[in-house]
Amino acid sequence: MQDRPTAVELLTSVREFIEQDVMPGLEGRKRFHALVSANVLAIVARELAGEETLLVAEWGRLRELLHSDDVEPSRLDDLKAGVEALTRRLCDRIRAGDADALPFGEAVRAHVRATVVDKLRIANPKYLGDGG
């Protein structure tokens, strides 16, 4: 699941900014803020376009890592909740020291790395050399 703020929260913030600051005119500081707003819109677009695909991938990695027999949810909200629940289970195992031993520890690091890369693809793909 993508971290906060949610897509709706981002859209609301951009809308309020445009209504209150951009519409009256664009100069100096306002130009900078318009560029920031454009970046936020790009983030939201990427999140909306890839959210389900990335969640399904994360679900699959978590399910395999935890040897879970949970059935993949068919609704997006249920998928988000399922990924969150499996992530909590993984966190519990990490806290318990399970990830200190191999091969589980290596599998955990691979999952975390893949999850961070997926999140960067949404937040700022330039960090990955994807261009954006």
Q: Pick from 119, 118, 90: which is nearest to 105 by CA?
A: 90
Q: Pick from 58, 49, 66: which is nearest to 1 by CA?
A: 58
**Mean pLDDT of successive 10-residue segments in the chain (132 residues)?**
71 75 76 78 84 95 95 94 97 97 96 96 87 48
Sign of CA dihedral 55, 61, 64, 68: negative
Q: What is the pLDDT of residue 132?
A: 45
Helix H or strand E segment including 122: helix 104-123
Q: Pick from 40, 38, 92: which is nearest to 65 by CA?
A: 92
Q: What is the pLDDT of residue 8?
A: 67
**Residue 74 tokens, joined:** 């068919």
